[in-house]
Structure 1
Amino acid sequence: MNNSEGAIMGRLCGFAVGMVLTAVPASLSAQEVGDPQQGSAFAQRVCAACHAVEHGQPSSPNPQAPTFDAIAKTPGTTEMALYAFLRTSHRTMPNLILTKDDISNVVAYLLSMKDSR
């Protein structure tokens, strides 16, 4: 390979790496938009034993569990933060295995509560 071919290959390789680095963060941050109504129904079935899951509920059945309103209105509660939280286990919560759709729906529901200040 001569210098000219090497330069072209170097530019093509640099272009390919740049394209991959551009696409990866977009795919990592692009979450599927969930259905807030399905998230509410899921929360009623799965979360309501410990959390106040309805908008305007003053306290949770378990005093240690924050209300969904409180979670939604906490500074720093973003879609990405909620996804990360719901994908990891926590000492104070049951070890639930949530599907991707369940997580998307609960996140959509929580964010809808944030918007309804």
Structure 2
Amino acid sequence: MTHRLIILANASLALAACQSAYPAEPQVGAASSAPAPAFIEAACGGCHAVEPPFLSPNPRAPDFEAIANRRGVTASTIKAWLRNAHNYPEIMDFDLTREHVDEVSDYMITLRRRDYVPVE
């Protein structure tokens, strides 16, 4: 019996040693239940739906959930796009600080879902 406990304890320690000390990329799963940060609501929410139920005030502006769930979209691709203001449609003519780029990207990536189905 003691021998089994020692084996189980060693196995648990071995598994714990495999854990990463670095934060993982946000997990794809259920949409974020956290509300959008105030900056995102203020800067983006006038055109884009930034929170559920994801109904954009501007029908031509995709909602954040739809953007986050596009094929190939990652935190890095969102950041790259947001850092290059020349990519923005004319109506989005503003600059974002590095901190705001990170804030928007980090929030958007929480909206990725395995079961996402695009609305047509």
TM beyond 0.5: yes
State the TM-score, normalized to the length of structure 2.
0.59
Alignment gaps of 5+ in structure 2 = 1-24, 26-31, 116-120
User: Following superposition of structure 1 onto structure 2, how do residues 55-94 of structure 1 map, counting pairs within 5 Å?
Assistant: 55-57=52-54, 59-89=55-85, 90-94=88-92
Q: Which runs of 4+ in 1 moved over 4 A?
A: 36-39
| Aligned 8 A contact 1:79 1:107 in 2 | yes
Where in structure 1 are there 5+ consecutive unaligned residues? 1-32
Provide closer, same or farther for how the CA distance between residues 39 and 102 of structure 1 changes in structure 2, counting only shifts above 3 A: farther
Which residue identity lines up with residue 53 of structure 1 in the other structure? V
Q: Provide, for residues 38-96 of structure 1, a one-character-per-residue CA deviation record: whole Å limited to 9, x for no partner.
A: 96321111101100000332x21111100001011111111111011101222344221
Among the aligned pairs, what percent are the same residue? 33
- Partners of 1:54 and 1:39 in 2: how far apart? 6
Higher helix proportion (structure 1 or 2): 1
CA distance in 1, matches of 2:114, 2:51: 12
Q: Give the corresponding residue for 1:103.
A: 101
1:39 and 1:102 in contact (8 A); partners too: no
Q: Rg bigger for which structure?
A: 1
TM-score norm. by structure 1 comes to: 0.60
Q: Distance in 2 between matches of 1:54 and 1:110?
A: 10
Structure 2 Cα separation of the partners of residues 106 and 63 of structure 1: 20
Report the RMSD for the aligned CA atoms in angstroms. 2.4
Are the equivalent residues in 2 in contact too, given 1:68–1:110 (CA < 8 A)?
A: yes
